[in-house]
Amino acid sequence: MDFNVFLAPITMLLILYIGLPELIKEPQDYLQIPAFMIVFGGVTFSIIFGTRFVNLKSYLKALRFIVIPQKRISAEEAVKIIVNLSRIALTNGKGALIPEIEKIKDPFLQYGVELVVEKFQEPFIRAALYNSIDEMQERHTTIIGINKNAAVVAPVSGMVGTIVGLIQVLRNMADPSNLGKAMALGLIATFYGGFFSGLIFTPMAQKLKIMSDEEASLKRMMAEGILFICKGEVPIKVEKYLLSYLTNSMVAKKSKSNK
């Protein structure tokens, strides 16, 4: 579970408690169901109308990964597995990798090793692996785009709520008792629009972009390792090259564990 998902709202609430305690102590003053429904309804409409149903299902699935990240192999573990596979292939031949395929938990790495075992040429393996990465990034870009679109629509929906509130103010000029509700609807709708845009959908899009980049980087590293196995490179060369994909802290940690 991503700790930052909980750290961010806790930090925001702490800052609000120090700088704007009224919002924390009297939140009911900022709760306006009609205003919320206008903004939420506008954003929901844009998400559903602006994408295909299959992408909508992927989007809802991706939202879960923000809180509970998808389980995948770590970069360090991938390096160990690839180096071991290169050692087996160099010593006993590529056919010796067949029993190892079922032990590999990562589907992308497993797919790459299968291509090596089936004796496809390096250009084909490279194209197949990198096409898979490109297709994954295109899917992720679509999901990220939904969030970015929602971030744009939210303030617009807030402005719609403001206009609705102003219309109600003008319609109730003769009845001052209803002016307060109408003005609250208009102002709080704008507040909700900015809140959803700046504090929900924009950070979500950024987080999904980071997660996509990390996954793509990991798969590129695994792809290069698989290509090294295909070319029959020695394990030490494979390891040194793959370690260049890791951060300095990861390299230091790995070196320390090998001593």
**pLDDT, tens digit, 9 for 90 and up, residues 168-183:** 888 777 777 777 777 7
Distance CA 259, CA 8 (A): 38
> Is residue 164 a part of any domain in this protein?
yes
- pTM for this structure? 0.81
Number of folded domains in the chain?
Answer: 2
Q: How many CB atoms lie within 10 A of CB 76?
A: 16
User: Are residues 130 and 18 part of one domain?
Assistant: no
User: Are residues 197 and 245 part of one domain?
Assistant: yes
User: Are residues 151 and 37 part of one domain?
Assistant: yes
Report, as an integer, the average pLDDT of 175-204: 84
Report, as an integer, the average pLDDT of 86-107: 91
Distance CA 244, CA 176 (A): 70
Instruction: Output DSSP code: residue 71.
Output: P
User: Are residues 142 and 38 part of one domain?
Assistant: yes
User: Are residues 25 and 39 part of one domain?
Assistant: no
> Is residue 81 a part of any domain in this protein?
no
User: What pLDDT band is residue 257 in, cutting at 50, 70 and 90?
Assistant: very low
pLDDT of residue 2: 67
User: Are residues 224 and 212 part of one domain?
Assistant: yes
User: Are residues 48 and 25 part of one domain?
Assistant: no
> Is residue 105 a part of any domain in this protein?
no
Q: Is the dihedral of CA 125, 131, 134, 139 positive or negative?
A: negative
Structural domain of 17: 1-30
pLDDT in tens, 108-158: 999 999 999 998 999 999 999 999 999 999 999 999 999 999 999 999 999
pLDDT of residue 44: 93
> Is residue 87 a part of any domain in this protein?
no
> Is residue 99 a part of any domain in this protein?
no
On whether the CB atoms of residues 124 and 152 are closer than 8 A, the answer is no
Percent of the chain with pLDDT over 70: 94
